[in-house]
């Protein structure tokens, strides 16, 4: 095989990787949508079924003790395709019955978490919403696509004496 063929194969492999990563990204969004739907349906079922209400409340309290606010923020960002402000995130954390009363300033905690998540590359700062910074989850597929875009396409040169 000539060097030209290797370059062509590398280029084709990169194209295939990009195509697969786009599919992966779509699956991540679909998984997040279905996860959100399941959560909402579980909440509706708990409200409709009075006999199981207290058992459901006990499970929520136990889950609150097991899951930290960092994980709650991560899950909420992963479930939402659109960027969210820190205030919106805090509201969603409260909607999910996470106990934020133990913090003197829960919004400051959310801001600190977001800064850490941005620094680690798991979250990106998006376009502002109503003048407030907005944040969006960066999926594994997003990261891989970004890396793939950074790598330059190989320069395919015609070798002397070779005809197409």
User: What CATH number corresponds to the domain at position 9?
Assistant: 1.10.10.10
Binned at pLDDT 50, 70 and 90, residue 6 comes out as: confident
Domain that holds residue 47: 3-150
- Which residues touch 113 (CB under 8 Å, ≥6 apart)? 69, 70, 73
* Residue 164, domain member (yes or no): no
Write down the pTM of the prediction. 0.53
pLDDT tens-digit readout, 9-38 = 988 998 998 888 888 888 888 888 888 888
Residue percentage of the chain with pLDDT more than 90: 19
Number of separate domains in the chain: 1
Q: Does any domain span residue 160?
A: no
In contact, 9 and 3? CB cutoff 8 Å: no
Residue 156 located in a structural domain: no
Query: Is 139 among the domain residues?
Result: yes
Q: Which of left, alpha, beta for 64 (phi over 0: left; psi -120 to 50: alpha)?
A: alpha
Residue pLDDT, tens place only, 75-96: 888 888 789 999 999 998 888 8
């Amino acid at each position: 095989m000539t060097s030209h063929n290797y370059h062509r194969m590398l280029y084709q492999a990169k194209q295939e990787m990009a195509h697969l990563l786009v599919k992966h990204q779509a699956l991540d969004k679909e998984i997040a949508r279905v996860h959100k739907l399941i959560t909402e349906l579980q909440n509706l079922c708990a409200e409709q079924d009075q006999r199981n209400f207290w058992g459901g409340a006990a499970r929520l309290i136990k889950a609150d003790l097991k899951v930290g606010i960092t994980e709650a923020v991560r899950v909420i960002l992963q479930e939402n395709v659109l960027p969210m402000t820190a205030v919106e995130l805090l509201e969603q954390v409260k909607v999910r019955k996470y106990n934020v009363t133990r913090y003197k300033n829960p919004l400051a905690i959310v801001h600190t978490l977001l800064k850490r998540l941005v620094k680690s590359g798991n979250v990106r700062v998006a376009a502002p919403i109503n003048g407030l910074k907005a944040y969006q989850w960066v999926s594994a597929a997003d990261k891989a696509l970004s890396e793939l875009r950074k790598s330059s396409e190989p320069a395919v040169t015609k070798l002397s004496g070779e005809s197409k």
